[in-house]
Amino acid sequence: MKGTQLGELQEVILLSILILDEGAYGLKIQQDISERLNRRLSRGALHTALTRLSEKGFVTSYYGGATQERGGRRKRYYALTVSGKASLREMKTLRDEMWSLVPSTQLL
Amino acid sequence: MSHPHLPKFWFRLLQWFCREELFEELQGDLEEAFGENIESFGLKRAQRIYRLEILKLMRPSVIKNLPAVRISQLPGNYLITSIRAFKHNPFYIGANILGMALALSIGTIGYFNYRFNDTFNEYFPEATSLYKVNGLRTGESTVGTSPAALAPALNLAGIAAFRYHDERIAVKLENQAGTGSGHKLFMEGLSFTDPGFIRYFDLANLNREPLSPLGYGEVYVSDETAMKFFGEPYPVGKLLTVILPNHQERLLTVKDVFPKLPNNTSFRLSVIADFDHLSDFYGLDENSWSNWVDGTFIYAPEGDMTRLIPQMNTYLNVQNQANKDLQISGYRLDNILEWPALEASLHNSAFVPQMHPAAVAGTLGSAIGILLLACFNFINTSIALSGNRLKEIAVRKVLGGNRTSTIAQFILENILMIGIAVVIALALTYYMIPGYNAMMSYEIIQPDQIPWTTFVCFGLVLVLCVGLMASAYPAFYISKFPSLAIFRNKVVLSGKNRLMTVLLTMQFTLCFYNIFGLLVTADNASYQERLDRGYDLGGVINIPLSQPQQYTALEDRLKQQTDVRQMAGTSSLIGFSFNNHSIGFNGQEYEVAELGVGAGYLETLEVRLINGSMFSQSETNTGEARKEMVINKMFEEQLGGDALNKPLTFNGEKYTVIGVVENFNLRQIMFDNKVKPCMMRLEAPSSYSYATLKVDGLTTDKNRELEALWYELFPQELYGGFLQEDVMQQVRQTNFIMINISTIVATISILISILGLYTLISLIAQKRKKEFGVRKVMGASWQQITHLLGRDIYWILGIAALIGLTGGSVVMNAVFDSIYAYHIDIDLLHYVWPTMIILGIVVSAVGYKMIQTSKLNPVEQLRTE
């Protein structure tokens, strides 16, 4: 998964970060994806995916405020970089293009 | 300030393995989720999720690089050093590995032997919910059988009761070559079962689909039986002919085939039929409280069975009324996992029992003993060899290696050696298993029944445990010396190392113990063969009769045969069957063994008459047995001596004592079957159930001849003739097993110990090279040097002999007492022989090395370095 290719999970994570906007930190992403995909995503799996994404330069992160529920630990917020957004858009274009080429009868 | 209910251990675990820069983020997220999960799912589940999350965080991107685990470095340098060390001393290390491998394969067999008993009946998935009904009696053994009417009477919701009954039945196979009548009879177990048995014991066919209930005339056969009777693995739809006791033939259709159950289950299922057949085949009344079946089983999930006991006890009266001579005081339910341990002690029970705990403990004990011995030897050799590597260690330390890396090096080397030993051991075990199984009466270790994961785990556990155990001491001991002291030759790792001496003494103690055990067992076996049983076993064949008339038919034919010396009919067999009965004499009751014998039976077995006469032939011609008795000497003594011609009461009738005979063994001499007071009464020919013959020549050949004759006379009846010598079978087999195990154990232990001793001698010779050189120059003779070299060994052998032989005699006496009614007394010679043998082996193995060292040219010795 090196290079600029996006895995399915990675794509979903990027989208989830965009949806959550300012509030995109580990737990929220995990919950958002678990809910949408209807399957449990472990924090470990999420961590690995996020590490890969930041290695590719698609996401960046910064520390936010600490809260009581977190035992006084800071949150790490994630946001998309320009290349992350570009890769996501590229993916969408590719898919739209392919979808538009599928004969409508095949979808029934 | 973490959440108060957070699982502390797991929190610390995460803290321990997680990279520092990630911990804040991950723990924060997990803790926040934990708080939320408590609200939505409750504390328990939240904790479970937390633990799971932490387990799933154990991945390379999260785990920090621990300084100790330099994975890339381990196989490289450590391994190269290890191989170099092996190359340096191929003989010692090879011998060490081989000794360890031998010990490990014995250990493996011991373990699987133990596992066989430990997982008894665990084959059945519902085992924890299955129970067997046993009947409690006051002051007597628990009854394993139960009335046929019990199971149908039990009707509690959620609980199922079902019956199992096993009968030996004759199976007729047509078109058998080499038989006069064109067919052959085989005795086979036929299991009659209620549908609940098949369902709750989860019996399945070869495709693992559950077996459906059987209809009338249908049977399931095991794959083994299928091959035996049909010669094909899947004879569905084929017919099996069975012969009922009344000589009628029945056809049974094979409905499906099931895989043979493992040997460590209570059942030997070969043909299964529905329970209904039992009443048809044997005339058993299904609803009778006086007709007994082998077992009533209960399926009661979740410990529900306690509800059942009160209901069962309401039937106590009905049952006891129907069975006056077998009163029970209550019912008991035993889980099928616990029942096999009781099986052997149950009255009238016919299931497969667990192995005797002594048999398991004995094998496991020897295995652990050998394994310990091999470990001692391993430690010894390790210390001895590492003594030569002190300088290497010092150089390493000076060049910057720390103690941890030295220890790691040693442990890795040893684990590598053990790893090789385990691989060799598994291969050895593979070849030893058939031999071991052949020794026991049935396959104890079935490799195909053991899941491969067990093998792998077992192997890994062995490598780690033994490797660490054997390498820890040398590793820590050797690595502790300061390098400077080593360079200055201040460290003396002498041959007088206390630990080595102690370990070697222990090894030889085990040697003495084992060889003593072997000799005593072998001597005992020959003693028991020679033991006078009070009658003659040789040349006697017993043939069971299904009808007393068969005796006359046999007698007519056998009269003409010259090699049949004597023949008699009987209903009890000395050595195999007798009843306990009370006899009245002078108003007192005596509990004695009672045998019903035909005229001439006692003479056929050469029971020795002391006084009076035996039963004479002529008196049975009336067809009615005379009221006469022959008693043994022990009973006569109990009656106060001289009982000849005195009247005794038996079953309310008066009998006269016409003879007194020498005491004889009523059974095999196992356990507590000692000679008992005993009486024999004359049995009429109309109640003969055996024909007993005394023949000349080989009994086995004659038995085959008799079998042919039998099928000529009674083609529909199964021949069951057996030798009187079979009474020795269990004793012989037990002795055979004990001698075999002792031989292996003794051989291996002496091999390993000699190796250890050889290493020790070489080491002493090496260390004291210069000293010996100087001594010789000053005029010491080679004999004196030999004496100096051997001084420690005298002590080691002396102490080992003392402990080993004393321990051995105590243990062997206890073992014999618990197994045999009569056994050998341990005398002085039993102590002398092992000592001579071990001394002989020691002298021939290390004597040469010692003399060679003593005779070395002192100049050579002094010139080194």
pLDDT digits (tens, 9 = 90+) for B787-825: 888 887 888 899 999 999 999 999 888 888 888 888 888
Mean pLDDT of B579-589: 81
In this predicted structure, which of B45-49, B225-229, B690-694, B857-861 has the lowest mean pLDDT? B857-861
Query: Greater confidence, B479 or B551?
Result: B551
Cβ atoms of B145 and B357 closer than 8 Å: no
pLDDT for residue B70: 47
φ, ψ for residue B172, nearest 5 deg: -105, 125
Please classify residue B85 by burial: count the beta carbons closer than 10 Å to its beta carbon, then call 0-12 exposed, 13-18 middle and 19+ buried.
Answer: buried
Residue A57 C-alpha, separation from nearest chain B C-alpha, in angstroms: 17
Instruction: State percent of chain B over pLDDT 70.
Output: 93
- Does the distance separating the beta carbons of B31 and A73 come in below 8 Å? yes
Length in residues, chain B? 865
Q: Which residue of A has its CA nearest to B60?
A: A48
Residue from B10, B21, B25 whose CB has the most chain A CBs within 10 Å, to mutate: B25
Mean pLDDT of B728-757: 83
In this predicted structure, which of A8-17, A49-58, B126-135, B348-357 has the lowest mean pLDDT? B348-357
What residues of B are in contact with residue A25 (Cβ under 8 Å)?
29
Whether B725 shows a pLDDT value over 90: the answer reads no
- Please, what is the average pLDDT of chain B? 82
**What is the band of B777 on the pLDDT scale with cuts at 50, 70, 90?**
confident
**What is the band of B71 on the pLDDT scale with cuts at 50, 70, 90?**
very low
Q: Which B residues, 796 through 835, put their C-beta within 8 Å of a C-beta on chain A?
A: none
Compute the distance between CA of residue B306 and CA of residue A95 in angstroms, rounded to an integer. 66
Q: Could you give the angle at the alpha carbon of B786 between the alpha carbons of B780 and B790, nearest 5°?
A: 135
pLDDT for residue B69: 45
Cβ atoms of B773 and B862 closer than 8 Å: yes
pLDDT for residue B301: 81
Whether B307 shows a pLDDT value over 90: the answer reads no
Compute the distance between CA of residue B605 and CA of residue B694 in angstroms, rounded to an integer. 8
Compute the distance between CA of residue B565 and CA of residue B695 in angstroms, rounded to an integer. 5
Cβ atoms of B129 and B302 closer than 8 Å: yes
Mean pLDDT of B143-171: 87
In this predicted structure, which of B73-77, B211-215, B293-297, B614-618 has the lowest mean pLDDT? B73-77
pLDDT for residue B162: 92
Mean pLDDT of B763-790: 82
Please classify residue B645 by burial: count the beta carbons closer than 10 Å to its beta carbon, then call 0-12 exposed, 13-18 middle and 19+ buried.
Answer: exposed
Whether B437 shows a pLDDT value over 90: the answer reads no
Compute the distance between CA of residue B479 and CA of residue B390 in angstroms, rounded to an integer. 9
The single-letter DSSP state of residue B601 is H
Cβ atoms of B838 and B794 closer than 8 Å: no
- Does the distance separating the beta carbons of A76 and B57 come in below 8 Å? no
pLDDT digits (tens, 9 = 90+) for B339-383: 888 887 787 778 888 877 777 777 788 888 888 888 878 877 777
- Shortest CA distance to B660 belongs to which of B684, B683, B677? B677
Mean pLDDT of B309-330: 84
pLDDT for residue A2: 46
Q: Which A residues, 41 through 100, put their C-beta within 8 Å of a C-beta on chain B?
A: 42-45, 47-48, 51, 66-76
pTM: 0.65
**What is the band of B272 on the pLDDT scale with cuts at 50, 70, 90?**
very high
- Does the distance separating the beta carbons of B1 and A30 come in below 8 Å? no
Mean pLDDT of B201-219: 89
Instruction: State percent of chain B over pLDDT 90.
Output: 7
Mean pLDDT of A62-88: 86
pLDDT for residue B191: 92
Q: What is the helix (H) or strand (E) element at residue B293, kind and residue range?
A: strand B292-293
Mean pLDDT of B527-543: 86
CB contact set of B148 (below 8 Å; sequence gap of 6+): B163, B278, B284, B285, B286, B287, B288, B289, B291, B292, B293
Compute the distance between CA of residue B45 and CA of residue B34 in angstroms, rounded to an integer. 10
Whether A6 shows a pLDDT value over 70: the answer reads yes
Mean pLDDT of B837-849: 86
What residues of B are in contact with residue A69 (Cβ under 8 Å)?
31-32, 35
pLDDT for residue B222: 92
pLDDT digits (tens, 9 = 90+) for B481-510: 787 877 777 766 554 567 778 888 888 898
- Does the distance separating the beta carbons of A47 and B26 come in below 8 Å? yes
- Does the distance separating the beta carbons of B2 and A25 come in below 8 Å? no
Q: Which B residues, 47 through 76, put their C-beta within 8 Å of a C-beta on chain A?
A: 52-53, 56-59, 61-62
pLDDT digits (tens, 9 = 90+) for B679-691: 888 888 888 889 9
> What ipTM describes this predicted complex?
0.88
pLDDT for residue B422: 83
CB contact set of A12 (below 8 Å; sequence gap of 6+): A33, A36, A37
CA atoms within 13 A on the CB side of B261: 23
Query: What sign does the CA torsion over B581, B584, B589, B592 have?
Result: negative
Whether B848 shows a pLDDT value over 90: the answer reads no
Mean pLDDT of B424-445: 78
pLDDT for residue B809: 92
Cβ atoms of B407 and B704 closer than 8 Å: no
Say which amino acid occupies B456: V
Query: Greater confidence, B360 or B556?
Result: B556
pLDDT for residue B494: 53
Mean pLDDT of B405-424: 82
Whether B400 shows a pLDDT value over 70: the answer reads yes
**What is the band of B303 on the pLDDT scale with cuts at 50, 70, 90?**
low
Whether B37 shows a pLDDT value over 50: the answer reads yes
Residue B160 C-alpha, separation from nearest chain A C-alpha, in angstroms: 41
In this predicted structure, which of B250-259, B400-409, B681-690 has the lowest mean pLDDT? B400-409
Mean pLDDT of B732-739: 83
